[in-house]
Chains A and B, each alone.
Chain A
Amino acid sequence: MKDLTIRNLSKTYFDPYAGTNVTAVHDVSLKVEQGEFVCIVGPSGCGKTTILNMIAGFIPHTGGEILVGGRPVKGPGADRGVVFQSFALFPWRTVLENVAFGPKMRGVRKVEREKIAHEYLALVKLTEAAGRYPAELSGGMQQRVGVVRALANEPDVLLMDEPFASVDAQTRMTLQEELTRIWQEKRPTVIFITHDVAEAVFLGNRVIALSKGRVLEEISVDLPRPRSWDALNDDARFKELSGRVLQLVRSA
């Protein structure tokens, strides 16, 4: 695991329909320490997914720099694992093969990588589903696979793009609790994108409020871990922090 530094990041692109240049991300700077869990929260269209896509290397940035462990980002790579909102599992691969995909790309032998995959599947209690295809799983199970697939590749930074937005409310809470548990166990560096303020406060060490491509404010979350919804639902500090972030996001 390594740290991540973003300096004066910006993104400008040409919109052919309007015929003008559009700036989606203005001058964003951010430092994420090794093993830190940072949430970026903001309304849709605020540029948060664009930032994540630039960190992942899926789209080029037009200004500033992105450094992972001191090295600049050029295109997608195995040092940054990504968990997608739409899961993006390979439908033609079984659950086990999906999780073993990263190690396979690194050239890990079949026996070895299947052992790794089994370990990670056990982490989210999906050992039983190893031989099934993604289409045969529920949304919540699919996203568990998505998370451990990214983790099994042991990336320096884990990027999560609204990963729990397309599962039902109950499953979402379970997944959030599971994610905090896994994070405490493995301590990956995480950047988590969401529009859900409560989710951001529940998960993060730090919450960054974003609006119209600019950073509004950073808020440290000093809630104790392990966190659970049962404990935090009536927690005064949690309510206070959520309230503040919500106010920030809504006022912008």
Chain B
Amino acid sequence: MPHRLSSALWFCAPFIVLIVLWAVFIPYFDVNPRLFPHLSSVVQAGIEGIQDGTLVQHISASLLRVAVGTVLALLVAIPLGVAMGVSPFVSNFLTPLFRFFSVLAGIAWIPIATLWFGYGFGAITFVIFNAVFFIVTYNTLLGVSTIPIHVRNAAASLGAGRWAMLTEVLLPGALPNIVTGIRTGLGFAWRGLIAAEMIATNVGLGYMLFVARDFYRTEVIVLGMIVIGVLWLLLDRLVLAPIERATIERWGMVRRA
């Protein structure tokens, strides 16, 4: 444990230095709070936000959208990707199509999503859905089609039926790619969420930032940025990265694409 403790300390040290610099230099140079806030006012904005519940409200609205959009996308994308990846002909045929759409996924859909669904929950969830959907489908397709044919043959000759083939070979074989896909897709979705919330809603972290800009409330903007950064870091480091490590590294499978 002492090793982990010290590495955690080393991880935190640069942040402590940065915060100290912030606390010292901003008042020292007398920076206009309309350009950059004091540390104390950001802390205060945070406490106020928690006390009156607005910060919690914005965070939970954003997280709910991400959760709903992502879960829906995964429920559709993974079965679809597996189904398409099984046949090499079909997967070869569809690969360019899904590459094209994964390039467009997310932010580029904001204008049309707001037109189709109106401003609000529907449009934003749709943007997240399609940021995750196309990339995960593409990666699942890629993952299934790159499982060596020998491994599939081995399972078949050991008596695996269709269902066993799916659960024992196709899904675990594609899992590293699926996880990488989810990680990339969520990265795009998270940015898409912030962008969409700036335009198309009246609650959420992106909205919080954008409204604060109208009133030059830089302390709220910086608070929002820190919250966004911390949330993503927690999601990425505590949920996604460990899964990736447990599959790709343990299984010795090289990460592709």
The short answer to whether A and B are in direct contact, CB under 8 Å, is yes
Contact partner, A82, options B154, B172, B173, B175, Cβ 8 Å: B154
Segment 87-108 of A: residues with Cβ below 8 Å from B: 88-93, 101-102, 105-106
Known contacts A90-B168, A92-B172, A105-B164; A153/B153 CB under 8 A: no
How many residues on chain A are close to B (CB under 8 Å)?
A: 30
- Annotate B222-257 by CB proximity to A: 1 below 8 A, 0 otherwise: 000000000000000000000000010011110000
Q: Are A81 and B251 in contact (CB under 8 A)?
A: no
How close is B81's CB to chain A, nearest CB, in angstroms? 17
Contact partner, A106, options B148, B159, B252, B253, Cβ 8 Å: B159
Q: Are A56 and B251 in contact (CB under 8 A)?
A: no
Q: Are B157 and A149 in contact (CB under 8 A)?
A: no
Segment 138-190 of B: residues with Cβ below 8 Å from A: 148, 150-151, 153-161, 164, 168-169, 172-173, 175
- Name the residue among B153, B164, B172, B250 with the largest chain A CB count within 10 angstroms: B153
Q: Are B153 and A76 in contact (CB under 8 A)?
A: yes
- Name the residue among B148, B158, B252 with the largest chain A CB count within 10 angstroms: B158
Which residues of chain B come closer than 8 Å to A56, judged between CB atoms?
153, 157
Query: In whole angstroms, what is the CA distance A77 to B251 when docked?
Result: 27
Measured CB to CB, the nearest residue on chain B to A53 is: B153
Query: In whole angstroms, what is the CA distance A133 to B161 when docked?
Result: 24
Known contacts A101-B168, A134-B252; A88/B150 CB under 8 A: yes
Query: In whole angstroms, what is the CA distance A93 to B160 when docked?
Result: 15
Known contacts A90-B169, A91-B251, A133-B250; A102/B159 CB under 8 A: yes
Which residues of chain A come closer than 8 Å to B168, judged between CB atoms?
90, 101
Asked if A248 is at the interface of the complex by the 8 Å CB criterion, the answer is no
Known contacts A76-B156, A81-B158, A106-B159; A135/B252 CB under 8 A: yes
Query: In whole angstroms, what is the CA distance A86 to B155 when docked?
Result: 14
Query: In whole angstroms, what is the CA distance A133 to B249 when docked?
Result: 11
Which residues of chain A come closer than 8 Å to B175, judged between CB atoms?
92
Q: Are B164 and A84 in contact (CB under 8 A)?
A: no
Query: In whole angstroms, what is the CA distance A105 to B154 when docked?
Result: 12
Which residues of chain B come closer than 8 Å to A91, judged between CB atoms?
251-253
Q: Are A77 and B252 in contact (CB under 8 A)?
A: no
Query: In whole angstroms, what is the CA distance A89 to B158 when docked?
Result: 12
Report whether over half of chain B's contact residues are helix, strand or loop; otherwise say mixed: helix
Known contacts A56-B157, A101-B158, A153-B159; A86/B251 CB under 8 A: no
Which residues of chain B come closer than 8 Å to A58, judged between CB atoms?
153, 156-157
Query: In whole angstroms, what is the CA distance A164 to B253 when docked?
Result: 22
Contact partner, A92, options B148, B159, B251, Cβ 8 Å: B251
Which residues of chain B come closer than 8 Å to A133, judged between CB atoms?
250-252
- Annotate B22-59 by CB proximity to A: 1 below 8 A, 0 otherwise: 00000000000000000000000000000000000000
Query: In whole angstroms, what is the CA distance A153 to B155 when docked?
Result: 12
Query: In whole angstroms, what is the CA distance A57 to B157 when docked?
Result: 8
- Annotate A120-142 by CB proximity to B: 1 below 8 A, 0 otherwise: 00000000000001111000000
**Which range holds the interface residue count of chain B?**
20 to 34
Asked if A80 is at the interface of the complex by the 8 Å CB criterion, the answer is yes
How close is B87's CB to chain A, nearest CB, in angstroms? 15
Asked if A223 is at the interface of the complex by the 8 Å CB criterion, the answer is no
- Name the residue among B161, B169, B175 with the largest chain A CB count within 10 angstroms: B169
Q: Are A84 and B150 in contact (CB under 8 A)?
A: yes
Which residues of chain B come closer than 8 Å to A82, judged between CB atoms?
153-154, 157
Q: Are A105 and B159 in contact (CB under 8 A)?
A: yes
Measured CB to CB, the nearest residue on chain B to A153 is: B158
Q: Are A92 and B173 in contact (CB under 8 A)?
A: yes
Measured CB to CB, the nearest residue on chain A to B153 is: A58
- Annotate A54-95 by CB proximity to B: 1 below 8 A, 0 otherwise: 001110000000000000000111101110101011111100
Q: Are B157 and A76 in contact (CB under 8 A)?
A: yes
Query: In whole angstroms, what is the CA distance A105 to B156 when docked?
Result: 10
How close is A171's CB to chain B, nearest CB, in angstroms? 19
Q: Are B251 and A135 in contact (CB under 8 A)?
A: yes
Contact partner, B158, options A86, A105, A159, Cβ 8 Å: A105
How close is A183's CB to chain B, nearest CB, in angstroms? 19
How close is A238's CB to chain B, nearest CB, in angstroms? 32
Query: In whole angstroms, what is the CA distance A90 to B153 when docked?
Result: 11
Q: Are B160 and A105 in contact (CB under 8 A)?
A: yes
Q: Are A149 and B158 in contact (CB under 8 A)?
A: yes
How close is B211's CB to chain A, nearest CB, in angstroms? 48
Additional pairs, 9, CB under 8 Å, beyond known A57-B157, A58-B157, A135-B250: A58-B156, A78-B159, A90-B151, A90-B172, A91-B251, A91-B252, A92-B247, A105-B159, A150-B158
Top-8 shortest CB links A-B: A135-B252, A78-B159, A76-B156, A88-B150, A105-B159, A88-B154, A92-B172, A102-B158
